[in-house]
Amino acid sequence: MNRHISRHALLLGLAALLLASLPGTLFADGGGGGGGGESAAPRDPQYEQALRLIKQERFAQAIPLLEQVVGRNSSDADAYNLLGFSSRKLGMLDKALTYYDQALRIDPKHRGAHEYRGEAYLQLGQLDKAKEELAFLDRDCWLPCEEFSDLKAAVARYEAQARR
């Protein structure tokens, strides 16, 4: 039997122990891949309603609710991220980027905003900027995270399409 444990295996084991000891509420839905700073406190009811609308792909109806949320709480990075997501899904890329930038001013490590901003850059044909977002997520996610995996797949699809 090999007596040497790889650094990667050791880190994964330690991470598993740490995650197992954390309360389950740490991973409450924080708005499309938040930066890890979401609280387990109850969310604004309009935020929750907007989130339900987004899951139903009713983006235009979610936007006014989210605008009211940030009107009451201008430091809600998750709400700005969802405003960006909804705007991007409606084809309003400039507005989406403005919202992602606001989310990142509030929480520079907001993983969802980095992922979605990268996807917006791909829609604009700005592969280099999308890869910058991917590089950030690669550094920030010391364990594989959904935001990194999703953006990496989107970049790969974009590059494959560009080769055709």
The structural domains of the chain, ordered by start, are 43-163 (1.25.40.10)
By three-state DSSP, how is residue 103 classified?
helix
**Model pLDDT, residue 104:** 98
Nearest to 31 by CA among 71, 68, 84: 84
Average pLDDT over residues 83-111: 98
Average pLDDT over residues 42-63: 96
Q: What is the pLDDT of residues 99-123, one digit of tens each?
A: 999 999 999 999 999 999 999 999 9
Residue 81 structure tokens: 């991220």
**Model pLDDT, residue 144:** 81
**Model pLDDT, residue 77:** 98
Degrees to nearest 5, angle at CA 29 with 73 and 146 = 120
User: 21 — phi, psi (to 5°)?
Assistant: -90, -5
**Model pLDDT, residue 41:** 61
Residue 31 structure tokens: 């708005």
Q: How far apart are CA 8 and CA 91, in angstroms?
A: 41
Q: How far apart are CA 105 and CA 50, in angstroms?
A: 22
